[in-house]
């Protein structure tokens, strides 16, 4: 007996197609990507070779030129080079001129300073450090002539870059910039230098403030009362009072040093009751809180 089809039976769904298995195809790297030298490719020029090394020559190991007059022209060309290694070599030559042939470098000193500033801004650490070393030798060789024989803008740019480099995280660059700032303080008279530094104690970068405060402190320690008065005794007190509340310990310690230097110069010239005269000076020219801070600093010394 034949069975009758059931009209209400559910339709059988179609069979799902099977997924195709993924096949991983290895990608062959180019020789340059896997560290293998391509013999058919021309080698990179020195300016593009990241592994090119730069020697950091100490000032003591720099030698004078045998014929400095003829080399001065190639120095200018080298400083203008687009090859960063060539610029490093030329900066070292500029250091040699600073140390041994400064009279020949003096006519182009401003140009050299601008190249030094530009090199400090370069992201290559080797070029940056070499330029900072050049700045140190220029400070030691020319001192206050930098302020007299060059445009003030060139010196201002150099000072700002040194403060910024001394404030960054790369230790070997930071340490070199600190050395250069020290050379600057030693070679330039306090009064004109303080005029350049005073604006940076209000800089938005707290590290720059601290580095400027240290340089100010080192300069003030070299000053007598007459020089302090010429700059502004009250100005220095107010500057130190603000820095005593700075966020960085380096700035606060520099402020304490400024207070000690001003206090010493002031009291040594007071024959009667020098400490009372000091307290009166602070209370007259500072807010009560700041005056009390000054008195506490001296009391803790």
- Structural domains in the chain, CATH included, are 61-188 (1.25.10.10), 210-301 (no CATH)
Burial 189-208, CB ≥16 within 10 A → b, else e: ebebbbebbbebbebeeebb
d(CA 272, CA 67): 63
Q: For 140-168, write each residue's pLDDT tens digit.
A: 999 988 888 667 788 999 999 999 999 99
Q: Indicate the SS3 state at residue 193.
A: helix
What pLDDT, on a 0 to 100 scale, did the predictor assign at position 53?
67
What pLDDT, on a 0 to 100 scale, did the predictor assign at position 148?
80
**Which residues of the chain fall below pLDDT 70?**
1-53, 149-150
Burial 212-224, CB ≥16 within 10 A → b, else e: bbbbbbbbbeebe
d(CA 11, CA 162): 84
Q: For 261-300, write each residue's pLDDT tens digit.
A: 999 999 999 888 999 999 999 999 999 999 999 999 999 8
What pLDDT, on a 0 to 100 scale, did the predictor assign at position 230?
96
pTM value is 0.80
What pLDDT, on a 0 to 100 scale, did the predictor assign at position 20?
52
Measured from the Cβ of residue 34, the count of other Cβ atoms closer than 10 Å reads 8
């Amino acid at each position: 007996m034949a069975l009758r089809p059931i009209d209400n039976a559910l339709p059988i769904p179609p069979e799902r197609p099977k997924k195709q298995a993924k096949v991983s195809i290895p990608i062959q790297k180019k020789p340059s990507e896997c560290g293998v030298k391509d013999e058919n490719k021309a080698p990179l020029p020195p300016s593009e070779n990241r592994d090119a090394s730069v020697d950091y020559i100490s000032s003591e190991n720099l030698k004078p030129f045998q014929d400095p007059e003829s080399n001065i022209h190639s120095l200018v060309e080298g400083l203008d080079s687009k090859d960063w290694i060539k610029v490093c070599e030329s900066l070292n030559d500029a250091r040699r001129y600073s140390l041994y042939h400064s009279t020949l470098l003096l006519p182009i000193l401003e140009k050299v300073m601008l190249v030094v500033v530009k090199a400090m801004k370069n992201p290559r650490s080797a070029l940056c450090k070499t330029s900072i070393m050049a700045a140190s030798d220029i400070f030691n060789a020319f001192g206050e002539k930098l302020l007299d024989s060059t445009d003030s803008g060139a010196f201002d740019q150099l000072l700002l870059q040194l403060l910024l480099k001394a404030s960054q995280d790369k230790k070997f660059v930071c340490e070199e910039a600190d050395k250069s700032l020290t050379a600057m303080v030693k070679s330039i008279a306090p009064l004109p230098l303080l005029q350049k530094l005073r604006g940076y104690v209000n800089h938005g970068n707290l590290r720059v403030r601290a580095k400027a405060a240290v340089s100010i402190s080192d300069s003030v320690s070299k000053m007598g009362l007459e020089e302090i008065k010429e700059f502004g005794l009250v100005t220095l007190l107010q500057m130190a009072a603000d820095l005593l509340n700075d966020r960085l310990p380096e700035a606060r310690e520099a402020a304490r040093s400024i207070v000690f230097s001003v206090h010493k110069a002031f009291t040594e010239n007071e024959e009667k009751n020098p400490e009372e005269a000091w307290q009166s000076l602070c209370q007259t020219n500072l807010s009560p809180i700041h005056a009390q801070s000054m008195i506490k600093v001296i009391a803790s010394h």
